[in-house]
Amino acid sequence: MHKGLDAGQIQFYRTNGYVLPSQKLLEDNKQDKLKNIFEEHLADKGDKLSDELDTPHFRDQRLFEFLLAPGTLDVVEAIIGGNIGLFSSHFISKEPGKGRRTPWHEDSAYWKGKFDRLDKIVTIWLAIDEATQENGCMGVIPGTHQNGFSNYEKVDDAANSTFDKEIKSDELDLERVVWFELQPGEYSLHDARIIHGANANTSDKRRCGYTMRYFSLDMKFNEKVNPGHKLWYARGENIANNRLETA
């Protein structure tokens, strides 16, 4: 038993590349506070689309209360160990009836070269709103984290997609997709290398999640590949001597 996840959940993650703990990450009052912060960011987004609110913690120090909360880091530690850095975060909101689809992809395909390896990056996807298949919840193909670098092709519906490329259809087994249907406050965990995606929101309900991304501090970040991107110290020892901010 680990204070973040139990042994069965940890083993399931190792085997499948994801886990759905079916529990809340934050206390209800903190979940409400996070939602209110998101609503502020959404109201102030300007010309950005609602799914483009990336790295909001760069601009809003209040988010570290959630990103670096002991309970949050306990969950991360269960997956990648006790030396933890904060890589990124992202409010991803799909508006009712017009939220774009997220093509099938691996985060690792976009992050290749940013770290010296990619096997110890984990994303928490925390539901701000209810996430269902009708409003475009995320889905994964279990076990595909063993690869992480599929072949890609251009999408044929770029205006309705968050990316301009997607994994070739003949490399996808969509019959095996597991959809992450979550209540507000519940969360999922997934490996950076797993194949995942989401359909467009065709419902009358918004779907927003907050992605919180962490990496092991024994991994080295390549600043030349991603100039200007900031990493934060979260817990443990900075083994690879990365340049880290402190909250």
Q: Cα–Cα distance between 110 and 192 in angstroms, integer?
A: 10
pLDDT in tens, 189-202: 999 999 999 999 99
Segments of the chain scoring below 70 in pLDDT: 1-2
Structure tokens at 58: 């760069």
Residue with tokens 């774009």: 100
- Predicted TM-score of the model (pTM): 0.95
Q: Where are the domains of the chain?
A: 7-235
To the nearest 10°, the Cα dihedral for 36, 89, 8, 117? 180
Q: Cα–Cα distance between 212 and 18 in angstroms, integer?
A: 14
pLDDT in tens, 219-237: 999 999 999 999 999 999 9
Domain 7-235 -> CATH class: mainly beta
